[in-house]
Structure 1
Amino acid sequence: MSPAALQSLLPSDPSSIAGYRLLGRLGAGGMGVVYLGRTDNGELAAVKVTHADQADQADFRARFRREVEAARRVSSPWAVPVTGADPDAPEPWMATAFVPGPSLGEAVTAHGPLTERGVRILGGAVARALAAVHEAGLVHRDVKPGNVLLAVDGPRLIDFGIARTTGETALTSTGMVVGTPGFLAPEQAEARAPEIGPPSDVFALGCLLAYAATGRPPFGTGAVDALLYRTVHDEPDLDGVPDGLLDLLRACLTKDPDRRPTAEEIAARLTEDTPGAAADWLPAPVVRTIAERSAAMLALPEIDATQLDASDTGDQPAPSRRKFLLLASGGGVALAAGGGIAAWAALRDDGKEDRKAGPTPKKRRWIIGVHADLTGPAKNIGRAQERGARLAVEQFNARKDKPFTLELKVSDDGGDKNRALAAARVLTGDPDVLGVLGPTSDYTGLAALPAYDEALLPLITVSAGSNMLINANLGQGLSMLQACPQHAIAGTCLAYYVLTKTRSVRPGILQDRTDDTYAWQYIGGANFAFRQTGLVPVPRVVPAGTTDYKRVLGEMMAEGMDAYVHCGLTPSAVLAARALDELGFTGMKITGQHVFEPRFPAEAGDAAEGWVLGAPVVDATTVKAASPFVAAHRKRYGAAPAFYTGESFDAVNILLQEVEKAAKGGKRPDRTELVPLLRKVRYQGVMGGYVFDAQTGELHPGAVGTFMYAVENGRYKPLEFAPGGPPKKRRT
């Protein structure tokens, strides 16, 4: 965990635990809370405290004790050490040394892959840490980018929560996959418990190093089932791995555990020296991040410089930041920073930090940001979202009792994921921005997310439904609220609609792999819903670029398909519509969000008639409660609001409601404290009700959902909300 993720303590939080003064929250989940703690001599630690109700469970306390014991058995400079623990306390806790650097996943996502030298240093250090793990008779079982923290003097392996003694199977049931898909071995993917051992960690290390070298996992991304299948059956994608590392990574990633090298052998083959105090093994932006986070330690309460002379009194000048760093307790900040001082020294500009303060800073502004695609493929959606945000801000400013005046700041990513991070930094880099609406699409959202998470700047999307935007395994989604259903949930809604409206007994579901992640989420949700009611669908997966849909769909009809769910994008939906029309198919034809655009009925023509589409938006002109909003939009823009405008209006008003509540007495709130407040919101907007999961920020199933439309005379005719569950009694 990093200082960028530090949140204020809650009133219910303790102020200290077993000699650790608690300075803030680093994270929280269903099992407990992780705090940033400090000892009396200045040492910083990540203090993990379990919930009392969990501690009452004997099996949970036993697992926690095993985690503590496992971490204590590992002795390596490249593994984060345990500095204290009490598994028998009323609320069991464990403290580990605090490393302020980013995780490997965060660094690669934000700044790209490492150099070959950087990968060698990373691999050598993590291999040595794993060698120590294996020497202690343990298997880590979760070597992934989120579990490797970066410091200038080398990486640190963390998290022994699922580590197990070699050969231990009592807690690894047959059929239970343990680890992170995309970074686990084939024997883990197939839950072959007796075969899981040190070679499994070596395979995961190979995945980790391929990711560090290329910026992508070697078995791709997407739905869990797809990742597990590729891990077991496909060859790794090592395109872009430096030639000097290819043979080693291929050896690590062989399917046969017995043919993989040991961790000691990997460390020996990666002969690059350890970095010491040099910062050049990491990209400069990563070093800068480490330096900034190390410097942020100075702002924490009661970390004081050591006095040079107890007799020094009177009007002595305050120590400069450099002197502060050099004088700070030797066992405290310097060690806790994990090389942060070296990073600061590598990047600082001598003479600048000791200058006197400049002019009085400008008066702070109150800004709401919009991150959208305004000029790219989804520009119609992005512009609608901007209009919704602008109306919300203008409505707020028109209030006579407004406590402050708002501004709107817009950043356009053009729908290009390569521009998304820069577009995000336009907003996160402005300290006056209090929250952001957006981004418009899944992939610009994923590319931009590291900037928002690092700044802990609230981010509300009404159109990006990828479940990867909130992914605890990758340590991301700290700032995100999804005011729309996730794609997998939307897929279940499509299936429930089929079950409610038809007599289907053999529904067909087809995945177009053009957008593999989106389609996998939809088909997974639909398949779950159908099987929940005992139906066995007719499935098909077609490669990107497939054009012969008549043959594929004809085969599905021959197998008894009586309803059709299309999990893919508009071009393939157009081909499917034409093919089904030619084949004379009369069952329900249904698809989801990424086909819900004017292009589908325009290109499919008569073949689109009767198709049903689900999307996370409602036609505002059909909602009685939205009448004042629709009138305001007509007055402002001369037309009825487009899809996504009303939802954006609601999302910005959710932000404004919580900002105003937090602005007690007109005092500007700390934007980093707003996300937990927003996730507890129950808000009734003009387009419906919004409730979020307090831990993840995803939309609660009981909130606004997927709305259904039918194509009629080339237009989308509003129908109703899709059911949130299977019908109590099937139509017969």
Structure 2
Amino acid sequence: MSERLLPTDPASIGGHRLLARLGAGGMGVVYLGRTEAGALAAVKVIQAEYAHEPDFRARFRREVETARRVTSPWAVPVTGADPDADEPWLATAFVPGPSLEEAVARHGPLPTRSVRVLGRMLAAALREVHAAGLVHRDVKPANVLLAVDGPRLIDFGIARATDETAITSADMVVGTPGFLSPEQAEARGAEVGPASDIFSLGCLLAYAASGRPPFGTGTVDALLYRTVHDEPDLAGIEAGEDTEGVELLTLLRLCLAKDPADRPTAEQFGTVLLIEDTVPEGEQIDWLPEDVVRVIADRSAEMLALPDIEPTVADADASAEAPDDAEPASPGRRRLLLASGAALLMAGGGAAAWAVLRDDDPPGASAPRARRWAIGLQADLSGPQRTAGKAQEQGARLAIEQFNSRKNKPFELTLKPVDDGGSAGRAPGAAKRLIDDADVLAVLGPTSDDTANAVLSTYDEALLPLLCVSAGGLLLTQQQYRSFVHCRPSDSYLAFPLGVYLMKQEGTRRAGLLQDRTGRTYAQETASITNMMLRRLGRPAYPRVVPADTDDLEPVIADMLRSGIGSFVYAGYAQGAARVAKELVTVGFDGPRITSQAVIDPAFLEQAGDAAEGWMLTSSFIDPSAVPAAEAFTAAFRKRFGAAPGYYAAEAYDAVNLVLQELVKAAKATKGGRPPGRKELVGLLRKSRYKGITKEFSFRPEDGTFAGWGVSLYQVEDGRFRFVGEAPSKV
């Protein structure tokens, strides 16, 4: 899988310690690297002689920009880059599995079900590529890495925007012969669009199912001619009496149509051509053959044997005393702290020593410095989610003010809010301000998934505890972070009570389940978990999926009603739910209608009107005005801010009180009553239990994932969202 570094290879690139070579070509090398936070990355480095060519550097810069525009669970994300360096580099998250090309070459064709699942996930990745206005242009088996939880599409080196002028010449064939479209084979530049990626995906799936490219092998000219003029060779992909086989063959023939207009879009690929049953269900994705899974497991184990990161050299003003729980590093790995002559010993694994130690007193201090410690708040205080952001600020401020009013407090705290405007572009700068403030012990926020995903690794490198009460998407849990504490159930978990609630309704017939692609990953999570729950409870749903921004829902709802459904589950956002609600009223449907948190939005009430009445909704937040345990909080909030608390105010209040609980306990156990450092606080928070006014808090110590229940039910009543209480967790 990897090779040893050569003596001429650099020791590090862009903050990544290089561990091994993953591959090399004529233009550069791909290294396996590790960040100071301990995350593995594939670091692509371009040789200096090519970097001096203006056109080449422009193409590389475009590759970086292009890859950053794609956000999908099934596309490898960019974690860092410097296209302007002497030797430009690009780092992406490392996937330890083999490429599809390697897996098929070593273990043979994949089973039909595996190919179908592969197709759905890669189509989902391409849907995001195309939604970003891009065309990948090199979808091939070597550019798909296999992981237990799904494939990853890589290498956007020749991707370009659909309206962008190509840097390469107009008559140049761009792509990999045997896996490119007829329009690419004939260098019809202006015609190379999203449909070209679908043709390439068809070639890739045919290869996965049969073990050979559909247009054979041979010289480049022969491959290009067959692609344009010959029919694909799909022999060996037998339909027989197997429905899955029939559908796969039909799909491949549509994808491999010579005319781009005859091919399905990435959207249609996942909503029409493959049935919902191919979506992996449950906590473990079971989609690959055992021998491929074994290779992935072996390679993951190899990662554990890789060397650690060299110890970090602390800043001159950092303490020279290591935290109590630090492990001694070997003498050969010590570095001199040149500014002061002191030595700092640090365990490997990527911890940033300065971020942990700068909270400590200077060496020789006999008493804690007079300082006011702080809880940071990163929130959207001026952007699209400012209502939730301001509610969190107010809840956090109330908790800190109440703490400071105590007579026997060990220290005082202040709240330091930073507004990121709900912008993923502004979020890293906001995070840096809080990280650089040595008085900040922990941070509450950010408000949205986009801003959270933009800063999680930043907080991780600084080992500054980050407690999140509102963001809850799938991407937050895809990677293990060292400082993240998730103070709410994830969005996918909110789907669990939907099936439980429907099973409790007496006489309720089969549920209709509508996934609205406008809701992107959120809708897919909700639909998949609900479908899985109902199936396991012995009452399979009737699932349908509609493309993004579908206005006419009458045909799909009519089809669902013809199937005999007696209840309805919607997976998506508020605007789509309003259209569904009005259509259901139009056709006279009065069975249970249920959806999840994203629809608790004034837009749903405004756009649906009376059609919203009776809808049930699950959420991760409560209405404190309707919860007896929150009566004192609600009264104090009204007195302090002159209004009832908004959504997430009570959750923020609880999260800050959770931090205060651990700070006080640790301070009482230390000389001088000072709070713990950031690294120590992360561990304390992840091991903590706290009974708040919104829910009971507990976490998985290894990754900070929320381990409690904390799901609530609302119902639309008299034009408002009425809090019902805790959502059912058992049938």
Aligned match of 1:620 in 614, 620, 624?
624
Alignment of 1:158-237 (within 5 A): 162=97, 168-169=106-107, 200-204=141-145, 207-210=153-156
Q: CA deviation at 1:590?
A: 1.1
2:664 match: 660
Is contact 1:591–1:613 with CA below 8 Å preserved after alignment? yes
Aligned residue pairs, count: 516
Q: CA deviation at 1:490?
A: 0.8
Q: CA deviation at 1:166?
A: 7.8
Is contact 2:43–2:92 with CA below 8 Å preserved after alignment? no
Q: What amino acid does structure 2 have at the position aligned with 1:715?
A: R
Q: Secondary structure at the match of 1:439?
A: coil
- For residues 315-341 of structure 1, give each alpha carbon's deviation from its aligned partner in whole angstroms, at most 9, with x where no partner exists: xxx98469999xx9xxxx9xx99xxxx
Aligned match of 2:473 in 466, 469, 474?
466
Q: CA deviation at 1:669?
A: 2.2
Is contact 1:692–1:699 with CA below 8 Å preserved after alignment? yes
Aligned match of 2:505 in 484, 501, 505?
501
Quick one: distance in 2 between partners of 1:242 and 1:295?
A: 45
Q: What amino acid does structure 2 have at the position aligned with 1:653?
A: N
Is contact 2:41–2:94 with CA below 8 Å preserved after alignment? no
- For residues 122-156 of structure 1, give each alpha carbon's deviation from its aligned partner in whole angstroms, at most 9, with x where no partner exists: 99xxxxxxxxxxxxxxxxxx995689999997789
1:722 matches 2:668: no
- For residues 371-406 of structure 1, give each alpha carbon's deviation from its aligned partner in whole angstroms, at most 9, with x where no partner exists: 212222222211111111001111111111111110
Quick one: distance in 1 between partners of 2:633 and 2:514?
A: 39
Q: What amino acid does structure 1 have at the position aligned with 2:57?
A: R
1:705 match: 710
Quick one: distance in 2 between partners of 1:582 and 1:557?
A: 13
Aligned match of 2:434 in 396, 411, 427?
427
Question: Unpaired runs of 5+ in structure 1?
Answer: 1-43, 47-70, 82-96, 109-113, 124-141, 187-198, 215-235, 266-290, 308-317, 338-360, 728-732
Quick one: distance in 2 between partners of 1:322 and 1:237?
A: 52
Is contact 2:381–2:420 with CA below 8 Å preserved after alignment? yes
- For residues 77-114 of structure 1, give each alpha carbon's deviation from its aligned partner in whole angstroms, at most 9, with x where no partner exists: 96779xxxxxxxxxxxxxxx967598687999xxxxx9
Q: CA deviation at 1:302?
A: 6.2
Quick one: distance in 2 between partners of 1:704 and 1:457?
A: 26
2:682 match: 675
2:578 match: 574
Is contact 2:374–2:441 with CA below 8 Å preserved after alignment? yes
Aligned match of 1:374 in 362, 381, 398?
381
Q: What amino acid does structure 2 have at the position aligned with 1:709?
A: Y
Quick one: distance in 1 between partners of 2:464 and 2:115?
A: 34
- CA separation of 1:162 and 1:416: change in aligned 2, threshold 3 A: closer
1:415 matches 2:422: yes
Quick one: distance in 1 between partners of 2:92 and 2:379?
A: 37
Is contact 2:104–2:110 with CA below 8 Å preserved after alignment? no
Q: CA deviation at 1:516?
A: 0.5
- For residues 278-331 of structure 1, give each alpha carbon's deviation from its aligned partner in whole angstroms, at most 9, with x where no partner exists: xxxxxxxxxxxxx99965599896687999xxxxxxxxxx98469999xx9xxx
Aligned match of 2:412 in 398, 405, 408?
405
2:57 match: 117
- For residues 176-216 of structure 1, give each alpha carbon's deviation from its aligned partner in whole angstroms, at most 9, with x where no partner exists: 79999999899xxxxxxxxxxxx744444994321x788xx
- CA separation of 1:237 and 1:367: change in aligned 2, threshold 3 A: same
- CA separation of 1:103 and 1:644: change in aligned 2, threshold 3 A: closer
Alignment of 1:325-724 (within 5 A): 364-472=371-479, 477-663=481-667, 664-665=670-671, 666-700=673-707, 703-724=708-729
Quick one: distance in 1 between partners of 2:529 and 2:94?
A: 31
- CA separation of 1:146 and 1:367: change in aligned 2, threshold 3 A: same
Is contact 2:41–2:93 with CA below 8 Å preserved after alignment? no
Is contact 1:184–1:200 with CA below 8 Å preserved after alignment? no
Q: What amino acid does structure 2 have at the position aligned with 1:433?
A: V
- CA separation of 1:582 and 1:412: change in aligned 2, threshold 3 A: same
- CA separation of 1:362 and 1:244: change in aligned 2, threshold 3 A: farther
Is contact 2:381–2:389 with CA below 8 Å preserved after alignment? yes
TM-score, normalised with respect to structure 1:
0.59
Q: CA deviation at 1:605?
A: 1.7
TM-score, normalised with respect to structure 2:
0.60
Quick one: distance in 1 between partners of 2:646 and 2:564?
A: 39
Quick one: distance in 1 between partners of 2:386 and 2:619?
A: 17
2:304 match: none
Q: CA deviation at 1:540?
A: 2.0
Q: What amino acid does structure 2 have at the position aligned with 1:117?
A: R
Q: Secondary structure at the match of 2:154?
A: helix
Quick one: distance in 2 between partners of 1:381 and 1:143?
A: 30
Q: CA deviation at 1:597?
A: 2.3
Once the two structures are overlaid, the 10-residue window that deviates more, 152-161 or 507-516, is 152-161
Is contact 2:518–2:547 with CA below 8 Å preserved after alignment? yes
- CA separation of 1:241 and 1:102: change in aligned 2, threshold 3 A: farther
- CA separation of 1:159 and 1:538: change in aligned 2, threshold 3 A: closer
Q: What amino acid does structure 1 have at the position aligned with 2:377?
A: V
- CA separation of 1:122 and 1:522: change in aligned 2, threshold 3 A: same
Q: Secondary structure at the match of 1:539?
A: strand
- CA separation of 1:575 and 1:106: change in aligned 2, threshold 3 A: farther
Q: CA deviation at 1:537?
A: 1.6
Percent sequence identity over matched residues? 36
Quick one: distance in 2 between partners of 1:716 and 1:170?
A: 55
- CA separation of 1:615 and 1:107: change in aligned 2, threshold 3 A: farther
Q: What amino acid does structure 1 have at the position aligned with 2:638?
A: R
Quick one: distance in 2 between partners of 1:684 and 1:306?
A: 44
Is contact 2:78–2:92 with CA below 8 Å preserved after alignment? no
Q: Secondary structure at the match of 2:155?
A: helix
Q: Secondary structure at the match of 2:644?
A: coil
Q: CA deviation at 1:555?
A: 2.3
Question: Unpaired runs of 5+ in structure 2?
Answer: 1-16, 45-50, 64-73, 125-139, 147-151, 180-196, 221-308, 323-327, 351-367
- CA separation of 1:655 and 1:484: change in aligned 2, threshold 3 A: same
Quick one: distance in 2 between partners of 1:554 and 1:178?
A: 28
Is contact 2:514–2:570 with CA below 8 Å preserved after alignment? yes
Q: What amino acid does structure 1 have at the position aligned with 2:434?
A: L
- CA separation of 1:247 and 1:386: change in aligned 2, threshold 3 A: farther
- For residues 564-610 of structure 1, give each alpha carbon's deviation from its aligned partner in whole angstroms, at most 9, with x where no partner exists: 11111111111111111111101111111111123322332211111
- CA separation of 1:541 and 1:667: change in aligned 2, threshold 3 A: same
Q: CA deviation at 1:74?
A: 9.4
Q: Secondary structure at the match of 1:599?
A: helix
Is contact 1:143–1:183 with CA below 8 Å preserved after alignment? no
| Cα-Cα RMSD | 5.1
Q: What amino acid does structure 2 have at the position aligned with 1:678?
A: L
